[in-house]
Structure 1
Amino acid sequence: MAANYREDREKDNEFNSRLRVNLSAIDDIDNVNQADDKPDEAAGEEGHYVHPDARALFEKMPCLERIPIFGKSCQGYGPRCTFSLGLVYFLNKGVGYSLINYACFSMFTSRFGVSGVRYQRLASIAKLGFSIKAFAAMTSDSLAIFGYTKRWYCAAACIVGAALTVGYGCLPKKESSADIAAGFIFLTSFCIANVDILSEGHYSRLMRRRPASGPSLISWIWWFILSATIVGAVIQGPLSDKELPQVGLFIAAATQLLSALFFVWNWYGEGTNREEQLADALTLKRELNRALRERQLVSSFRATGSGKEEDGKADSGLDKPVSAEAAAYYNAEGELNGDFALDTLHDGGETAEDEAPALNIVSCCGGIVEINKGVCMRNWRIFVYSSLMACSVITMMCVTILGTRWQLLYSCIAVVLACGACAFWALPFLIAKVSIYFFSYAFLYLQLPGALDSFYMASKECYPEGPHFSYVFYNTIGAVIGNLAGIAAVAAFPYLFSKHSLRFTLMFTYFIQVLASAFDIIIVKRWNLYIGIPDHAMYLFGDAIVYEVSYYLAWMPTVILLSRICPRGSESMVYALVAGFGNLGASMSNTVGSLLMEFKWPITTKDTCDFSNVPMLLLIGHILLPMLIVPLSFVLVPAARICDDIDVNGNIIKQKARSLHRKQRREPGEPINELPP
């Protein structure tokens, strides 16, 4: 029996690498010395599974199977699903969103003629659309349209997003169009965020079923996103220099509209709502039953005190950690964790694992709409929290466009307090702390596009001594070099930080971002010219390389931390909430930057430019405020290494299992040399 549980634990641990980054390199580095002790997982059914469509494709074109990332993804999920996921991300979140993002400054300042201070305020709205994607995820999980929970939502989002993008590009060339354009950007980014989060939910479900191909699929998707970002930069830079930024928006609309075809044809291969709900219910029931059996096994050893008397085989089984599943469902005192009302079947005890549970689905409007009542009941706190965040984001959008600076300040304070307090009410305690940390991580490093973009792009007539960058250099060359540097940083991350603590890695990478800001201050103060370094070279080394490398290095541990603590069965929902709160923090950083300009340190970007206050804005927003991340890291981030598995209470699972085993065997507590650092 102990051997069977040990095999279950080995299979369960494969799920640690199934989310949004490839964690396998980190785990391989950490476990290289333990390889001999593990059973041959590849010998199981999962290791030999090949999708029927992939088998047919590989028989006709065997060379495709040898393509490293594509071949492995096709084996698990089929060529249609693999191709459609990559192309949807390439067209929608990649080319489409990057074109909208790169055209923003040119549209607002050149076409609509707004000032740098006004642009600083309106630029925050672009990120607000991604802040409420949790509400979209919760709505789609609760309400199925025409029998599907994702397919038709995504198709509608692509079509509506394309129409909004065309409307944004057709606005007349006058300053009053800027406020309407900000609303279009918010709605368009919300549509793109819908496709993003619902696609993440779909492939997360696929990876729970076929985890062996999961890391390859994630790598496949992110290669498409990064390459599409480069394509978008190459297209938009020359268009902005020719004062035709709206053409890039029309291209973005076309890419979004083209993405809708994959959902109309259902190339994702999504099953109907009833099929997916039944499969999820059976999976969750098996997982809970396994956790209950493991708990009963541990309780029997505790009750009989037979840990020492059992044979060596059973004893060695208890020496191994209990599965991450069991550790997640139970708290430190051994009671069932109440926080896992998120998505757990409370059926009162063990039932036959293959017995089909009753589905609590209500049909409305002649079957056009299906309400997943069970999902709503299990996740009602999440639904309330996501609704509150949606209302907060809409409030921030309206006040940003129409409100005074004081109204904007009061709204920021109210939204942060309300969403922060609700996070601790709706989420498990550790996930709530991580959510607050993600918000602070994005918020404390103030984004200042109104100041920096205006400074770098100022004309010779407005600011004779400025850098006078072109859009081709600023948006295209800088973006291409920055993305290439970011790819290198992501590839090197597992080898640089795999065994360091989360706290150290997060603080270290954050301070590299702060260091990169020194290059901006040097350029703004024109000190680089005194030592003979041209503006273009200084910018490329600073913002394009050092900052992008630091950004990706800082992004990796945050995603890894979230991947480690997301509860099984609720990954997409919880990830959307935490990531959405982080996006809200990034938007708030823009807003606070605009408040600093409006209250204390204004800039002038029309007629005769005045950027004398930009160094002070950079000092406060890029150097002093980010220092607050140090105490927050010790308060909100668990004391674990990047390569450690942690449960929902923040405990290292292996260490927790050893401690429980010592209690079972009536041994003393943790040895001094095994205490956490």
Structure 2
Amino acid sequence: MSGTEKEIEDEDLPMPHVKKSGLSHLEKGIERGGQRIRTALHGISRSNPSKDYEVLVPEGSDGYRLPQKPTVSDYILHPYRGFKHFAGQLVANFGWKFCTMIVCNYLAVKGLLLSAMGLVRLSYCKKTLGIDGAACQTVAAISSTPWAIKGAIGVVSDAYPLLGYHKSSYIILLSVVGTFAFFLLASLSIRSPMVAAALFFLANFQIATADLLCEGKYASLMQAKPQTGSSMVSLVWGCFQLGSLVAALIVGPIADNFDPQIIFWLCIPLAASIILPTSLGFLQDQKVAPEKRGVDWSLLKKHPYIISYCMIMALAALGNGLIDTLYFDSHLLQLIYSLFCMLLLSVLAFLWLPPMLAKCNFYMFLSSVLYVNIGGAQDFWFTADEQCVPGGPAFDYTYYNTYTWVVGACTGWVGIVLFQATMSGWTFRKLFWVTTLLQIVASAFDLLIIARWNKSINVSDKVFYMFGDAVIGPAVGMFAAMPALVLTSKLVPKGLESTVYALLAGFQNFGGVVSSQIGIYAIQYAGIKTTAPCNFDNLNTLVLVCHCLLPLIAVPLTFLLIPNKLMTDNILDEQQERSDPEDECIELTTAHLSFGANVDESSTTDKPMQEPARRQ
């Protein structure tokens, strides 16, 4: 017997040969259960890096494999056994409580809840609020603000333990606020887009905070147990995708047949679902000793540049949301403010961030800005009735939100496989060139449908859109996200990974906000009217400029901002780039930058209120 096995036997499990008089049936049952547990744990080693829970890591557990001579039943049961093995590993390594917390957050909150918010936005704007496309896009810009302040949320939670906890108290407080916001959205007859936008802001604040702090926790646990590999990330991604799929299947039919406001009643229990497991300590968030509570000024003083940048970016994003709310129809003022903030943050990035990191992040920020978001015009055109767009597609919400999302989800996964199989050995510059051109090709299908060219070849709008933008768009989104994620991971300074990831997430999400503000003004400037009397005469020109011509500017910028290196190469010079302007770095336990959660405006994890698998 190995020393590890003996340690497990001696310390953790009841000894079956011990005899005690007067054992109750319950005690005997526990004793027999201990015998079975000890047998099942044969060959399992233990490591306990944290006092929060016990971590068990099966030896050589790369995944469940078929027997050497599999039978038909082995093949039939293989998915079940593989999932059981995967779930068993997760529980053994992270504990069932923490796994429950992760499932609750990424299935119910970020999966179902966030996706439902994004999917219902279009129908809610048209059927309930009765506003036009530009106003609907302004609502989305306001509500997505919390995703641009992730860095500041992380700084505040790390520097000040609210009620003694760095994470749990913030999640509970904002979950109560988010739940109340959904209650108001469901129960009140809201007709003001500003009020609706403010409530959506609070709801997104809850989701963004829970996402950030849960990511920070599971990231630290994964670092403590590197042999667990990507199992926790797989759980997170799988829960999110499942939740998004269920939301898409529900929202479309309800929006077509009922008042979209009904969906917010379904959102209330989803928003509140995370409160109970967090209150019961499932997040494994340690309580800070009373003498150590209060603002941790030493933490803030050690890294003033990064923290200042996070806070300035948060103020800029909050200011943008405030101006959008107070001056809801002043789209020129909104545009001027967002462009000023873009200039300020870009200059500060080059002053306060390592040079290579600043260049690459600026490129990815500009890529988001240059692909101008005009969804307020496009979404309304695709779903307009016969009176507004005679002979138009007139897509219902079940098709536009549900069917296209399911197809887009599948092609998004195909995009990941194709990327890994054919592009993983390319240079970063070449990858960004190709993804930009593919984005333009995907947008070309919009041009063809709007010009009604598909009708000249007798192809219906639904077929052409389904096998055009709905298929190509998500795959292209994955192509664009993967090199950006890899490049960012190679540029993060050592010792500051989580903080910089959160900072860059906020900066690139703010790029999406700027893109929306430019698009809102462009819609107004083009004279497009999405409500009666409708006018979409210049929509094709707008799509051509915003989605085909402007993105091309990013191609020559790669020569200035992107290193001409393979994805497999090291980019940072060990001595030069890994030290930032402040020499010693600290690691704030914020969160990873997430790409691919296309829920709100475009992608898959950090962007909030737009239909999944849709253009931005």
Q: TM-score, normalised by structure 2?
A: 0.78
1:148 counterpart SS class: coil
Q: CA deviation at 1:633?
A: 1.9
Structure 2 vs 1, CA of residues 414 and 621 (structure 1 numbering), >3 Å: closer, same or farther? same
Structure 1 Cα separation of the partners of residues 126 and 380 of structure 2: 9
Corresponding residue for residue 33 of structure 2: none
Q: CA deviation at 1:270?
A: 2.5
Counterpart AA for 1:164? A
Alignment pair present for 1:123 and 2:130? no
Corresponding residue for residue 463 of structure 1: 389
**1:183-211 C-alpha deviation (Å, 9 max, x unpaired):** 22222212211111111111121122112
Corresponding residue for residue 479 of structure 1: 405
Given that 1:65 and 1:72 are in contact with CA atoms closer than 8 Å, whether structure 2 keeps it comes out as no
Corresponding residue for residue 603 of structure 1: 528
Counterpart AA for 1:386? C
Q: CA deviation at 1:648?
A: 6.4
Given that 1:462 and 1:609 are in contact with CA atoms closer than 8 Å, whether structure 2 keeps it comes out as yes
**1:326-352 C-alpha deviation (Å, 9 max, x unpaired):** xxxxxxxxxxxxxxxxxxxxxxxxxxx
Given that 2:339 and 2:514 are in contact with CA atoms closer than 8 Å, whether structure 1 keeps it comes out as no
Counterpart AA for 1:542? G
Q: CA deviation at 1:144?
A: 1.0
Q: 1:268 aligns with which of 283, 288, 292?
A: 283
Q: 2:194 aligns with which of 179, 188, 191?
A: 179
Q: CA deviation at 1:505?
A: 1.4
Structure 1 Cα separation of the partners of residues 546 and 337 of structure 2: 20
Counterpart AA for 1:183? A
Q: CA deviation at 1:510?
A: 2.4
Structure 2 Cα separation of the partners of residues 141 and 398 of structure 1: 26
Corresponding residue for residue 499 of structure 1: 425
1:578 counterpart SS class: helix
Q: CA deviation at 1:54?
A: 6.5
Corresponding residue for residue 633 of structure 1: 558
Structure 1 Cα separation of the partners of residues 83 and 245 of structure 2: 26
* Structure 1 residue runs of 4 or more that deviate by more than 6 Å after TM superposition: 62-66, 648-653
Structure 1 Cα separation of the partners of residues 528 and 120 of structure 2: 22
Pairs within 5 Å for 1:68-467? 69-174=86-191, 177-273=192-288, 363=291, 369-403=293-327, 404-467=330-393
2:149 counterpart SS class: helix
2:294 counterpart SS class: strand
Root-mean-square deviation (Å): 2.5
Q: CA deviation at 1:66?
A: 6.6
- Higher mean C-alpha deviation, range 160-169 or range 619-628: 160-169
1:184 counterpart SS class: helix
1:267 counterpart SS class: coil
Query: Which runs of no fewer than 5 residues in structure 2 stay unpaired?
Result: 1-43, 65-79, 579-616
1:638 counterpart SS class: coil
Given that 2:45 and 2:58 are in contact with CA atoms closer than 8 Å, whether structure 1 keeps it comes out as no
**1:133-152 C-alpha deviation (Å, 9 max, x unpaired):** 11100100111123321111
1:465 counterpart SS class: coil
Q: CA deviation at 1:536?
A: 0.3
Counterpart AA for 2:228? S
Alignment pair present for 1:647 and 2:569? no
Structure 1 Cα separation of the partners of residues 85 and 411 of structure 2: 22
Given that 2:47 and 2:57 are in contact with CA atoms closer than 8 Å, whether structure 1 keeps it comes out as no
Corresponding residue for residue 515 of structure 1: 441
Structure 2 Cα separation of the partners of residues 613 and 84 of structure 1: 49
Structure 1 Cα separation of the partners of residues 565 and 135 of structure 2: 43
Given that 2:377 and 2:539 are in contact with CA atoms closer than 8 Å, whether structure 1 keeps it comes out as yes
2:161 counterpart SS class: strand
Corresponding residue for residue 304 of structure 1: none
Structure 2 Cα separation of the partners of residues 582 and 652 of structure 1: 21
Q: CA deviation at 1:586?
A: 0.9
**1:489-526 C-alpha deviation (Å, 9 max, x unpaired):** 22342222221112211221222111100000101010
Given that 1:428 and 1:648 are in contact with CA atoms closer than 8 Å, whether structure 2 keeps it comes out as no
Given that 1:502 and 1:640 are in contact with CA atoms closer than 8 Å, whether structure 2 keeps it comes out as yes
Q: CA deviation at 1:125?
A: 2.1
Structure 2 vs 1, CA of residues 69 and 56 (structure 1 numbering), >3 Å: closer, same or farther? closer
Query: Which runs of no fewer than 5 residues in structure 1 stay unpaired?
Result: 1-46, 275-361, 654-677
**1:597-649 C-alpha deviation (Å, 9 max, x unpaired):** 222x1212222422111101101110111001112222222332222333367
Structure 2 vs 1, CA of residues 95 and 507 (structure 1 numbering), >3 Å: closer, same or farther? same
Given that 2:147 and 2:509 are in contact with CA atoms closer than 8 Å, whether structure 1 keeps it comes out as yes
Structure 1 Cα separation of the partners of residues 306 and 268 of structure 2: 33
Structure 2 Cα separation of the partners of residues 163 and 475 of structure 1: 26
Percent of paired sites with the same residue:
28
Structure 1 Cα separation of the partners of residues 499 and 426 of structure 2: 29
Count matched residues. 510
Structure 2 vs 1, CA of residues 248 and 428 (structure 1 numbering), >3 Å: closer, same or farther? same
Corresponding residue for residue 542 of structure 2: 617
Structure 1 Cα separation of the partners of residues 563 and 493 of structure 2: 16
**1:292-350 C-alpha deviation (Å, 9 max, x unpaired):** xxxxxxxxxxxxxxxxxxxxxxxxxxxxxxxxxxxxxxxxxxxxxxxxxxxxxxxxxxx
1:271 counterpart SS class: coil
Q: TM-score, normalised by structure 1?
A: 0.71
Pairs within 5 Å for 1:59-70? 67=84, 69-70=86-87
**Where is the helix percentage greater, Structure 1 or Structure 2?**
1
Given that 1:502 and 1:638 are in contact with CA atoms closer than 8 Å, whether structure 2 keeps it comes out as yes
Q: CA deviation at 1:398?
A: 2.0
Structure 2 vs 1, CA of residues 122 and 426 (structure 1 numbering), >3 Å: closer, same or farther? same
**1:394-442 C-alpha deviation (Å, 9 max, x unpaired):** 2111222333233223202211111112222332222222221221121
Structure 2 Cα separation of the partners of residues 371 and 124 of structure 1: 32
Given that 2:435 and 2:476 are in contact with CA atoms closer than 8 Å, whether structure 1 keeps it comes out as yes
Counterpart AA for 2:482? M
Corresponding residue for residue 493 of structure 2: 567
2:551 counterpart SS class: helix
1:164 counterpart SS class: helix
Q: CA deviation at 1:375?
A: 1.6
